[in-house]
A and B are shown apart, each in its own frame.
Chain A
């Protein structure tokens, strides 16, 4: 059986694909930002001298890191309603991605904080700064800078993983692709085009994250 490639029906659906790509950008961007903030909170808990607090954070981080994202999505989307919390597919997607991103960010950022020399913290203390200010003004930027490449890789991985939320009908790029597939039966062409768009999205994220890194996390180091 000879297959003739026909991309036209897929490419004709470009407005829907564009819409899907923007939706992927949106949910990924929101989840990265929220996930990083939440991750910093978990990181602080993880480093807390109070054993119970640190144990809670560790348990959270390890559970998320050692279970599939898809199962987390199912747990949240199908499980939450039985607790009386009904979420739209998009809300469930953003929640799952944020919680996932938080666990990875917490571990990555912890590595950054631990790379900061003790003398930096002592200098802050000796100047009379309180712990919060020491973290915010002295540790934060150099710590993020130290692990920025790892953080960016994780963010891009998160963006790629967002394709899984299509399985609970969150309307992002993969979901749009599957709808086109269902209408045109051009499965191979659809997934080829999706692959190209995702490749472009990861390049886009990589460039944007690099620019953010240059703007906020760079300074001369000899």
Chain B
């Protein structure tokens, strides 16, 4: 069991003529926490969306826990069972209660009984401190609460890897902390995480590595202290200057 959690080798992706991922090589160890940052349009969201095949790649290979993801989606079911994802827009299902949101996939994919699924859902809702809202509908919750439900929903599938796609950028400022706290406590449990975010405080607190992308390329990859203290690349310096001046 020495293989990496995620291994991307020479990955290339185009949208028509637009080369959005250029020769991406990335290994993520088990239990490693990675923060992906970079200007908008740099390909960071696209990169993590390739890992669970929400986007197709044209060249290169992606292995998740030793399973090879085919370009046309072979093994995708297997891989998605191991990989949870949290979206910028939460994407909770509006016609289901919080509890039903969390029970759907365990029931349909793992064929869990209703009682099992419910028990698991309540366990994770409790973990994100929202169990008392289990019977409400998404529209009745605040953005921060919705995002915590989305995290619980992903956790109910028992993922080994969690992908976060700008989880706090659609939130009002006062709600960012409750979501980041949830993510930090998740990181403390040792799950593998890749997080696209500009929350540099979060990166300092939990990231083992910060990866900086620009124009579809990985420009820099370093531990947070090194990346923030002494960025090597000019584009990374410029980017940090912009982010931190806010």
| Chain A residues engaging chain B, CB cutoff 8 angstroms | 117, 119-120, 122-130, 133, 137-138, 141-142, 145, 219-222
Contacts and interface: CB of A to CB of B under 8 A. Distances in A.
B202 interface: no
A126 B83 CA distance: 8
Contacts of A117: 89, 91
A116 to B, nearest CB: 10
B26 to A, nearest CB: 19
Contacts of B139: 219-222
Contacts of B84: 126
A137 B80 contact: no
A141 B95 contact: yes
Nearest to B91: A123
A219 B140 CA distance: 10
11 contacts: A123-B85, A123-B93, A125-B80, A127-B153, A128-B77, A129-B104, A138-B104, A142-B93, A142-B94, A219-B95, A221-B139
Interface string B127-157: 0000000000101100000000010011001
A8 B42 CA distance: 81
A198 B85 CA distance: 53
Given A122-B87, A129-B109, A221 B94 contact: yes
A220 B108 contact: no
B81 interface: yes
Contact of A119 (B87, B104, B105, B153): B87
A21 B168 CA distance: 58
Contacts of B52: 125-126
A113 to B, nearest CB: 14
B10 interface: no
The 3 closest A-B pairs by CB, nearest first: A123-B91, A127-B105, A126-B85
B93 A138 contact: yes
B172 to A, nearest CB: 15
B74 interface: no
A214 B163 CA distance: 37
Contacts of B109: 127-129
Given A123-B150, A138-B93, A219-B137, 8 more contacts: A119-B87, A120-B91, A126-B85, A127-B105, A128-B81, A128-B157, A129-B105, A137-B93
A127 to B, nearest CB: 4
Contacts of A125: 52, 54, 80
A145 B153 contact: no
A127 B104 contact: yes
A184 B96 CA distance: 57
Contacts of A145: 95
Nearest to B93: A138
Interface in B188-240: none
B105 A128 contact: yes
Contacts of B80: 125-128
B181 to A, nearest CB: 23
A126 B151 CA distance: 12
A137 B108 contact: yes
Contacts of A123: 85, 87, 91-93, 150
A130 B111 CA distance: 13
B94 A122 contact: no
A127 B94 contact: no
Nearest to A221: B139
Contacts of B137: 219-220
A137 B106 CA distance: 13
Nearest to A218: B95
A130 to B, nearest CB: 8
Contacts of A130: 77
A129 B95 contact: no
A123 B146 CA distance: 14
Nearest to A134: B108
B154 A127 contact: yes
Contacts of A133: 108
A122 B91 contact: yes
Contacts of B153: 127
A125 B92 CA distance: 13
B210 to A, nearest CB: 24
A50 to B, nearest CB: 16
